[in-house]
Amino acid sequence: MISPKTSDANCETCNSSIKPHHRFCYNCGAYLGTYNAPVTIFNNRNLRSAFFFFIVYLFVCLLVQFTGWFNIYSRLFWVEIFLAGFTLFHVYKNYDAIKPLLRFNNFNIVRLAGCISFAAMASFVVNVIVTKMNYSFFRTDITYYHLYSAYSVPALIMAYSIALNPAIIEELAFRGVLYNYLNAFLNERLVIIVTGFAFGMMHLSFISLFWLVPFGILTGIMRRRFGTIWYGVVFHFVFNLIAVLFDLYRHGHL
């Protein structure tokens, strides 16, 4: 068993990393003791921070989704700025823990090329399936071009708003800040799953959950495996950029 005062320890049975409040080892299932108090939002600062962080993101997304106020990009832009500022503030608060993720650890051209290729193929397949599902079930052909069409370079603004900004800010938010908060008291494999589902839920699209959750889990695995968020950022950017190009091409704007 582990001491109640220890912030982190290893299981005596399998030597896996465990947290002080764990009653059973996530790896081997060994019993760790009864003194460990369960984590709640009232007694754990990291859980409170994670809950607050996600709720703010979810509230803003609900506001955008279910009000007509943000149906033009000049207003949506300020939402992007707010979420970017909110995320960067939390990055600053947790900079010591997040700083290693901002380095290009184990970065090599072959792995990067594979990441780009897989993101491009996956995005194309997903966009074809989603387009067919939207038409088959809802008789709709969704395009985001109208949000940007009033501007002089709509394609470039779409690429920034849909691909570049989310790739950086959402990866910092979900694979940086939220991941860091949850990793303080959850097993890391569980953190990857929870942040993947949180990422999917934040987009408020039931039909898209079939690819958003695996997307979030995959980028979480990249963060854990390579110790950096940049592979996830590149994957996220290419995936969304292909979606932008797919949308522009289908509607004759490319």
Position 188 pLDDT exceeds 60: yes
Position 3 pLDDT exceeds 60: no
Report residue 6's pLDDT band, with 50, 70 and 90 as the boundaries. very low
Mean pLDDT over 18-35 rounds to: 62
Residue 35: its pLDDT value, please? 47
Q: How many CA atoms lie within 13 A of 209 on its CB side?
A: 8
Please answer whether residues 158 and 145 qualify as being in contact, where contact means their C-beta atoms are separated by less than 8 angstroms. yes
Query: Rounded mean pLDDT of the chain?
Result: 88
Q: What angle do CA 55, 60, 61 make, to 5 degrees?
A: 95
161 contact partners, CB below 8 Å, separation of at least 6:
73, 76, 77, 80, 148
Residue 235: its pLDDT value, please? 98
pTM, 2 dp: 0.85
Mean pLDDT over 190-204 rounds to: 96
Report residue 189's pLDDT band, with 50, 70 and 90 as the boundaries. very high
Which residue segments constitute the domains of the chain, with CATH numbers given? 1-38 (2.30.30), 44-250 (no CATH)
Residue 144: its pLDDT value, please? 87
Q: Is 238 helix (H, G, I), strand (E, B) or coil?
A: helix
Residue 14: its pLDDT value, please? 78
Report residue 2's pLDDT band, with 50, 70 and 90 as the boundaries. very low
Task: Tell me which of 70 and 240 has the higher pLDDT.
Answer: 240
Number of C-beta neighbours around residue 107 at 10 A:
13
Please answer whether residues 220 and 175 qualify as being in contact, where contact means their C-beta atoms are separated by less than 8 angstroms. yes
Residue 68: its pLDDT value, please? 84
Residue 236: its pLDDT value, please? 98
Task: Tell me which of 106 and 2 has the higher pLDDT.
Answer: 106
Please answer whether residues 30 and 12 qualify as being in contact, where contact means their C-beta atoms are separated by less than 8 angstroms. yes
Residue 222: its pLDDT value, please? 96
Residue type, position 185, single letter: F
Residue 21: its pLDDT value, please? 58
Mean pLDDT over 200-228 rounds to: 93
Report residue 23's pLDDT band, with 50, 70 and 90 as the boundaries. low
